């Protein structure tokens, strides 16, 4: 288990990892790759992108895959487009998509919707990180 005081890394590093997950989520060219696995990577894009924004704004990042929690931690002054509120539903792909279950398999249309949502969260986070960051008021 990782220690609780592990350095969270830079926002840019989190976005780099999110981009890696995004590239993996886009790999739908093999019939052996499960769409559920691609949806898991799409969820990871949103999770890591949101964590990058939180870290950039000096907000402690909880150990969670829950997109609801991460969105609720965003500062009030950061505008989250209404369409990105849908990112909350990506939480479901954090765990259930990684293991066999009796759930209905993910279809192509669902995968495409999930991927588009993840891409939107990533682009939004990139835009937020390009803005000036808050400074530490303790100095």
Tokens of 68: 């609801």
- Say what the pLDDT of residue 139 is: 38
Residue 18 lies inside a defined structural domain of this protein: yes
Residue 56 lies inside a defined structural domain of this protein: yes
- Say what the pLDDT of residue 64 is: 95
Residue 87 lies inside a defined structural domain of this protein: yes
pLDDT digits (tens, 9 = 90+) for 28-65: 888 899 999 999 999 999 999 999 999 999 999 999 99
Residue 45 lies inside a defined structural domain of this protein: yes
Residue 135 lies inside a defined structural domain of this protein: no
Among 97, 115, 105, 135, residue whose Cα is nearest residue 45? 115
The percentage of the chain sitting over the pLDDT mark of 70, rounded to a whole number, equals: 90
What does the alpha-carbon distance between residue 121 and residue 47 come to, in Å, rounded to a whole number?
Answer: 9
- Say what the pLDDT of residue 138 is: 43
What's the domain count of the chain? 1
Q: What domain range is 114 assigned to?
A: 11-129
pLDDT digits (tens, 9 = 90+) for 79-129: 889 999 999 999 999 987 777 777 788 999 999 999 999 999 999 999 999
């Amino acid at each position: 288990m990782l220690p609780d005081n592990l350095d969270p890394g830079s926002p840019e590093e989190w976005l780099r990892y999110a981009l890696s997950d995004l590239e993996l989520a886009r790999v739908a060219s093999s019939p052996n790759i499960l769409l559920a696995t691609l949806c898991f990577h799409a969820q990871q894009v949103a999770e890591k992108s949101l964590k990058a924004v939180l870290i950039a704004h000096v907000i402690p990042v909880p150990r969670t895959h829950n997109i609801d929690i991460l969105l609720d931690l965003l500062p009030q002054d950061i505008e989250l487009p209404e369409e990105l509120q849908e990112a909350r539903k990506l939480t479901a792909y954090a765990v259930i998509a990684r293991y066999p279950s009796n759930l209905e398999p993910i279809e192509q249309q669902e995968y495409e919707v999930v991927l588009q949502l993840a891409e939107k969260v990533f682009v939004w986070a990139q835009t937020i990180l390009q803005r000036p960051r808050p400074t530490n008021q303790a100095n």
